[in-house]
Amino acid sequence: MNLHPNPGAEALRLSDPLSLPVAHQSIAAALRHAQERGLRVSVAVVDAGGHLLAFSRLPQAPLHTIDIAQDKAMTAVSFSMPTGALGELMSCAPEHVRTCLLLRPRMVPMGGAFPLLVDGRLVGAIGVSGASEEQDTECAAAGCHAIT
């Protein structure tokens, strides 16, 4: 992994674990998507272990979106699936399963986060919070597509 402050194209390869330059590239794409639509969001990227790798927030994004974006990313990486899909699965689950999962800290089963996969391997996740569920999902998708 190249940690040079001015990375070249080599540092942006996704064959290695998720690098900081790639995480920043993903966040930049998600924020650009949000800004073009006048949205105020927070964006978080976590590594495969769910540890925060990079974060940014647009001016005037509500403060609670900071934690929610991180928690959405954590949820996506821990289940290796988009948080919107997890929410749909949970709606079909027995009530005791839904209750148990929703009581878990950091569990956010609503749209706005995607796992980041490289060659089928989980390397991290991106989470967005601050707009509607659909808009958060669109921003996260923009961040995901920018690096895959």
Q: Write out 77-106 in H/E/C secondary structure.
A: HHHCCCHHHHHHHHHHCCHHHHHHHHCCCC
pLDDT tens for residues 51-105?
999 999 999 999 999 999 999 999 999 999 999 999 999 999 999 998 999 899 9
Q: What integer pLDDT is reported at residue 16 of this predicted model?
A: 59
pTM of the model: 0.86
Residue range 20-146, CATH number: 3.30.450.150
Q: What is the residue extent of each domain of the chain?
A: 20-146
- List, in sequence order, every residue forming a beta bridge with 122; answer none if it has no partner: 117
Q: What integer pLDDT is reported at residue 79 of this predicted model?
A: 95
Residues with Cβ < 8 Å from 53, sequence gap 6 or more?
Answer: 18, 20, 23, 45, 46, 47, 124
Q: What integer pLDDT is reported at residue 111 of this predicted model?
A: 97
Residues with Cβ < 8 Å from 123, sequence gap 6 or more?
Answer: 14, 17, 18, 47, 48, 116, 117
pLDDT tens for residues 6-45?
444 444 444 457 899 999 999 999 999 999 999 999 999 9
Backbone angles phi, psi at 56, to 5 degrees: -155, 155
Q: Would the pLDDT of 142 be above 50?
A: yes
